[in-house]
């Protein structure tokens, strides 16, 4: 009996330790729900892909932002436009290797024109792009640009204050 409990404990523990950062595969309806969800005070949604060099370059800034402002109610969501066929081979290994703490989702959609305006009318569709939401006052701000070193936190502070 004891052995069984210990055994289960070990299995459970190792499962936890080896658990890859989950990457949820979502549709636009899920993303829309997520954007509407106001359970966290502040949310930063970044649109990226593993094959997008400027996106990958700016990712550490999002991770730093999360670490610094998480206790002030910030949630960071990285929405990947990688192709779903690449989930196991590319996206999950990338997230593991970089030890990404932000929530990572893969948006598996094809008819882009049907939803880009719903995220922001100013968005032409180029990535990287970032949406900031303040659920305390309903403010939102959209950026179709790559944040150079230090620019993300500055933009975030300008947005929040």
Whole-number Å distance between alpha carbons of 31 and 81: 12
Binds another protein (CB under 8 A): choice among 40, 54, 92, 153: 54
CB 96 within 8 A of CB 20: yes
> Closer to another protein at the Cβ: 115 or 159?
115
125 binds another protein (CB under 8 A): yes
Q: Considering the rule CB under 8 A, would residue 53 count as an interface residue with another protein?
A: yes
Running DSSP on this structure, what letter comes out for residue 3?
Answer: H
Question: Is 128 near another protein (CB under 8 A)?
Answer: yes
Identify which range of 62-70, 92-100, 104-112, 152-160 contacts another protein by CB under 8 A. Answer: 104-112
The answer to whether residue 149 forms part of the interface with another protein (CB under 8 A) is no
The candidate with the shortest Cα–Cα distance to 124, out of 134, 135, 116, is 116
Footprint on residues 62-101 left by another protein (CB under 8 A) = 81, 83
Tokens representing residue 56 in the block: 């990958």
Neighbours of 71 (CB within 10 A): 7
Indicate whether 60 belongs to the interface with another protein (CB under 8 A): no
Q: Is 127 in the site for another protein (CB under 8 A)?
A: yes
Q: Is 77 exposed, middle or buried (0-12, 13-18, 19+ CB in 10 A)?
A: buried
Phi, then psi, of 48 in degrees rounded to 5: -150, -175
110: tokens are 């094809």
Interface with another protein, residue 114, by CB under 8 A: yes
Among 24, 37, 88, 117, binds another protein (CB under 8 A): 117
Contacts with another protein by CB under 8 A lie at: 47, 49, 51-54, 81, 83, 110-114, 116-117, 123-128, 144, 146
């Amino acid at each position: 009996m004891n052995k069984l409990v210990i055994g289960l404990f070990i299995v459970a523990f190792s499962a936890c330790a080896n658990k890859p950062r989950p990457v949820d595969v979502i549709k636009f309806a899920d993303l829309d729900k997520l954007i509407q969800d106001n359970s966290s005070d502040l949310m930063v949604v970044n649109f990226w892909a593993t094959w997008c060099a400027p996106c990958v370059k700016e990712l550490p800034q999002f991770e730093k932002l999360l670490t610094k402002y998480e206790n002030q109610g910030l949630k960071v969501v990285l929405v990947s436009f990688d192709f779903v066929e690449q989930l196991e081979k590319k996206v999950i290994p990338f997230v593991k290797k970089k030890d990404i703490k932000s929530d990572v989702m893969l948006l598996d959609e094809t008819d882009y024109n049907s939803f880009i305006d719903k995220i922001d009318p100013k968005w032409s569709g180029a990535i990287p792009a970032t949406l900031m939401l303040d659920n305390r006052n309903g403010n939102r701000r959209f950026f179709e640009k790559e944040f150079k070193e230090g620019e993300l936190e500055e933009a975030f502070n300008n947005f929040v204050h």
